[in-house]
Every structure is written in structure tokens, then in C-alpha cells.
Amino acid sequence: MRVAIVGAGIAGLSTAWSLTKLGHDVTLIEQGSIPNPLAASGDRHRMIRRAYGEADGYAQAIAEAFDSWDMLWDDLGVSHYANCGVLGISQFAGDGAERFRIGLDRMGFEYERLDPREAAERYPFLDADTFRYAYFDRDGGTLFSERIAHDLKAWLRMRGVDVRMHTKAVAIDPQNASVRIESGATVHADRLVVTAGAWTLRLFPSLAENLSIYRNAVAYLTPPADLDDAWSNAPAIVDIGGSSDGYVLPPSDGIGLKFGARAFKRSVPDAETDRIAGPDEGDRLRRLFAPPLSRIDEYTVTEVKTCAYTFTADERFFSKRIGKTLVVSACSGHGYKFGAAVGQRVAHALETDDDATLVQWLRAETV
């Protein structure tokens, strides 16, 4: 089967990987580079975690996500995962970190609970006077997304996949599985997969009833020199507690210390709206992290990166078949960790025409 894929973020790359292993003829079309720095998958690292709050279906699917990444590491010959563990920090009853912990309890996942003094002794960047407790889950950590994209691109090319970078899709005929690109040429296939992330609505405006575009920013920071070692050996932080929904990725393996906050996102009309960070954006983001971090004014913002995502109203993943075309948006700000598994599931759906199972899995609907 000839399959064209529009969009080479993690969903498109992993779908190409899975289809290639199944023996299909794949063309991968990407409007930018791979990785694309403007895309949701384009940054340096992402978190993988078992903590999922009330979303038990996604918590259950994490085991499959880990297994799928292991299959990818086997094919690439290298692992791009740091099993540094995941920390949650609760500042007040019912905050995001506590909801994540309650979800771990409900799923029967083990973790270590720490009182503020114990947590601050182990992680000296914390201010013990500002939070109720912390908890540490040994399973989870950091996926090095930039390296994954580079190596998947190379793997696909070595196996004969037609990888077309800097090739912008401008129109799609979903009934005939064809893509018109900016040069005027048309790519024809038997089946088409659209994994275009925040650019999906440019190709399918009617899906605005299902998908919305949000813009967010993350900041890379240099901590005080005496905290370098503590951060270099730190876990990922799934939630700093409080009201910001802040999270942290540690500077694992030479990758920078990254702060992000789900509360920082805002709706935008287009994927390329306001993609240059404002002059004070990094500092505003930094200040959200005290409490529970101590000495936050001693951290220096070194870089701010913007990102754009598609979200559904209930923040579950989305898929819709239109003619011979399958549109997939496994995002809502939490999709990267499932990237390898998404590719395998999409490839299976293309082979079997079993859309119902794909939708149920993407939405993490438990039976």
C-alpha cells in the first residue's frame, strides 16, 4: 500500500516507522525541517509519566507507551530516554499535584512520599516552608525528542522512505488520498494520513468544531551555580503544585533545565500567531515557580521557545477518517509520551480499517 503522511512530528514519524516495518511504501511530507522547531514535537525533551490524575485510561495506556518506545530504541540501536523518575509537589489540598498522586493511588502505582524536610534535603532547590508534601515515582522521566526526530529521519531514509522536508502541503483531496504541494505538484497515494499538528486546521478548516489551537512557551534557565549538581541529578517534576500547573524537565545529558506551565497557554487563531516570545515572557514564567522553588530570582533565563498545539475540548486525542484520509491529532498538550504507540496504532488502523478501536484507544476510553 502506498501511504503519504503529511506532518513529521512524532505522530507522523512514528506512523512512517510502523508502516515501513509492515512493508508499505511511505512518503513523508514535512513543511519545515525534521525536527521542526515550530512544531509541538520540535523541542529538545519531553516528559513521560504514569501520573495522570483522573484520566485513568491514559494511565493504563502508559505501559503500552513504554513498550513501544523500547521497540523503537531496538530499531534505532540507541535509547533516547533518561529514567530519572518523576516528582510531584503539593502546595495545597486538591491542587494538580495532589490529583496526580490520587490517580497513582487509584491505579495501584507505587511511589515514595516525602515530607517537606525530606524533600528539600534530597532536592535542595525546594523551599520546605512552601509545600505540604512531595512524592517520587521511579518510573518515568525524560524523552529526548530532538534526538528521536533526527534518528527516526535517518532510519526512514535508510529504508527507502521518501522523506520530503521543506515541502508544504497546501490542499488535500481526502477522497482520493492526494496532496497538492506548494510547488504545484501532486502526491498520489492509496491512503493518506494527516498528522499536521497545529497546522491541521489550515488543511481541514471544518475540524475547528473538534480542534482548537493554543500557543504556549517554555523557558530554559541556568540555576545558581551551587544548585547545578542538584538539578543535574533531579527527576522531572510533573506538577509544582499551586495554581500554575507548572512542570520542570531537568538538564539531563547536557540538555537544558526547562520550565513550562499549562496555565501559561492561550488560544490563538493560527499555528504561526505570535511565535516570537515577548521580552518579559521568560521572566514571567520563571516567577510562577516560587513557591515551591527557592531563590528563584537567582535563576537566569537563557532561552524562551514558543510552541503551538491542537486541543480538544476534553483534552483527549482525536482521529477522524474522511474518505481515504485519516486525520490524527494525538496532542492536547500531553501526547508526546505516547508517540511511538500512536504510530503503531495508526498503522494498524490503516491495515484493518478498524477506526473504532483506534478512536477508543486514542481517547483512552476504558471498557
Residue 110 sits in a domain whose CATH number is 3.30.9.10
Query: Do residues 6 and 27 make contact, with C-beta atoms less than 8 angstroms apart?
Result: no
Query: Do residues 319 and 358 make contact, with C-beta atoms less than 8 angstroms apart?
Result: yes
Q: How confident is the model at residue 41 (pLDDT cuts 50, 70, 90)?
A: confident
Query: Do residues 31 and 166 make contact, with C-beta atoms less than 8 angstroms apart?
Result: yes
What's the pLDDT tens digit per position in 82-118?
999 999 999 999 999 999 999 999 999 999 999 999 9
Whether 254 maps to a domain, the answer reads yes
What's the pLDDT tens digit per position in 48-65?
999 999 999 999 999 999
Q: For residue 90, what pLDDT is reported? A: 99
Q: Is the pTM of this model over 0.85?
A: yes
Mean pLDDT value across residues 349-355: 97
247 and 294 part of one domain: yes
Q: How far apart are CA 144 and CA 38, in angstroms?
A: 16
Grid coordinates of 240: 509544582
Whether 318 maps to a domain, the answer reads yes
- Encode 306-320: b = buried (16+ Cβ within 10 Å), e = exposed: bbbbbbeeeebbbbb
Q: For residue 254, what pLDDT is reported? A: 87
Q: How far apart are CA 245 and CA 124, in angstroms?
A: 21
Whether 52 maps to a domain, the answer reads yes
217 and 304 part of one domain: yes
**Structural domain ending residue among the three candidates 311, 327, 344:** 311
241 and 305 part of one domain: yes
224 and 204 part of one domain: no
Q: For residue 367, what pLDDT is reported? A: 45
197 and 97 part of one domain: no
- Number of domains the chain is built from: 2
Whether 76 maps to a domain, the answer reads no
Does 223 sit behind a cis peptide bond, omega within 30 degrees of 0 on the bond before it? no
Query: Do residues 35 and 145 make contact, with C-beta atoms less than 8 angstroms apart?
Result: yes
Give the structural domain span for 279: 86-138+212-311
Q: CB neighbours of 299 closer than 8 A, spacing ≥ 6?
A: 221, 222, 223, 224, 286, 293
Whether 72 maps to a domain, the answer reads no
Whether 95 maps to a domain, the answer reads yes
**Structural domain ending residue among the three candidates 293, 311, 329:** 311
Whether 168 maps to a domain, the answer reads yes
SS3 label, residue 40: coil
Grid coordinates of 223: 540555576
40 and 170 part of one domain: yes
31 and 90 part of one domain: no
Q: How far apart are CA 242 and CA 265, in angstroms?
A: 16
Q: Which region holds residue 197: left if phi is over 0, alpha if psi is between -120 and 50, else beta?
A: left
What Rg value do the Cα atoms of the chain yield, rounded? 20
278 and 221 part of one domain: yes
157 and 184 part of one domain: yes
What's the pLDDT tens digit per position in 225-279?
999 999 999 999 999 999 999 999 999 888 999 999 998 999 999 999 999 999 9
> How does the average pLDDT of the chain come out, rounded?
97
Whether 336 maps to a domain, the answer reads yes
Sheet holding 186-188, edge to edge: 169-173, 178-181, 186-188
256 and 290 part of one domain: yes
47 and 186 part of one domain: yes
**In percent, how much of the chain has pLDDT > 70?**
99
